[in-house]
Amino acid sequence: MAIELRTPAQVEEMRPAGRFVAEVLTALVDAADVGVNLLDLDALAHRMITERGAESCYIDYAPSFGRGPFGKVLCTSVNDAVLHGLPHDYVLQDGDLLSLDFAVSVDGWVADSAVSVVVGTPRQQDLDLIEATRDALAAAIEVARPGKKLGDIGDAIGSLARSRGLSVNTQFGGHGVGRTMHGDPHVPNDGRAGRGLPLKPGLVIAIEPWFLATTDEIRMHDDGWTILSADGSRGAHSEHTIAVTEGDPIVLTARD
Ligand code: MG
Ligand code: MG
């Protein structure tokens, strides 16, 4: 694995990308509501990218796990969709659970972040599921410190999930972030404490717990991108790009 560590000056250079991703997700969460079309959310993100002079990480993206190029700038995953949701002509309904995942490059540095919300009247189980992903993300960020290992991050996420009665799918997880969106190391959403890559100052990674309400199995939508739960239960996803430092981790994509 070619793991690149950033200097403190480079981490500072990555802040504008993180701030912009946070700004766009905040605007999208504000805009997402009953009666809003997913394509309009993608268009809003696209306008903000153009105005900022940023570069989408998604629009030309054609990885092995999708039918590329993606063609949109935002992932919108609704209800039983949880990851890589390809925006399509769909009007949000009361009680929909919406996950928004957004990554761009600003001045040559990438930031990547995701958030789940309910539009309209929420069901308690959906709020609980979202809260589990947020709490897992917070627990994982808390252990992202020198002296800890990659397995401590996975353990923090997996343990939190199990404590809420959820199981974890490890087919997709976090990743190194830098000049491109997906670098080494892979950051699994489960693991053994004290094992794996030692965390060092300058390591910049996306941590992204995602859980499904009643399964850990997934299936692919006919669109060739959208990842759905195998049993139709709902999913949620929380992601931040963070930098390990000598002190507290820096959450580059923190929203106000
Ligand atoms: Mg993401
Ligand atoms: Mg990511």
Tens-place pLDDT, residues 76-134: 999 999 999 999 999 999 999 999 999 999 999 999 999 999 999 999 999 999 999 99
Closest CA to 8 of 162, 200, 153, 188: 200
Statement: residue 1 has pLDDT above 80: no
Closest CA to 196 of 152, 161, 159: 152
Q: Which ligand is nearest to the CA of 85?
A: 1
- Separation of CA 127 and ligand 1 centre (Å): 20
- Separation of CA 66 and ligand 2 centre (Å): 14
Counting other chains too, the contacts that 126-129 makes at CB distance below 8 Å and 24 or more residues apart are 126/95, 126/97, 126/234, 126/236, 128/164, 129/97, 129/166, 129/211, 129/213, 129/234, 129/235, 129/236
How far, CA to CA in Å, does 149 sit from each of 168, 169, 182, 207, 243?
Answer: 19, 20, 20, 14, 14
Q: Which domains does the chain have, with CATH numbers?
A: 10-251 (3.90.230.10)
The band of 50, judged by pLDDT with boundaries at 50, 70 and 90, is: very high
Q: Which ligand is nearest to the CA of 172?
A: 2
- Separation of CA 162 and ligand 2 centre (Å): 22
Provide the 10 A C-beta neighbour count for residue 68.
15
Q: Which ligand is nearest to the CA of 181?
A: 2
Q: Which ligand is nearest to the CA of 175?
A: 2
Query: Quick one: residue 229, left, alpha or beta (phi over 0 = left, psi -120 to 50 = alpha)?
Result: beta
Summarize the confidence of residues 13-17 as an average pLDDT: 98
Q: Which ligand is nearest to the CA of 237?
A: 1
- d(CA 109, CA 6) in angstroms, rounded, equals 11
pTM of the model: 0.97
Q: What's the pLDDT tens digit per position in 165-213?
A: 999 999 999 999 999 999 999 999 999 999 999 999 999 999 999 999 9
Q: Which ligand is nearest to the CA of 189?
A: 2
Q: Which ligand is nearest to the CA of 174?
A: 2
> Residue 30, class by beta-carbon neighbours within 10 Å (0-12 exposed, 13-18 middle, 19+ buried)?
exposed
- Separation of CA 183 and ligand 2 centre (Å): 10
- Separation of CA 113 and ligand 2 centre (Å): 7
- Separation of CA 220 and ligand 2 centre (Å): 18
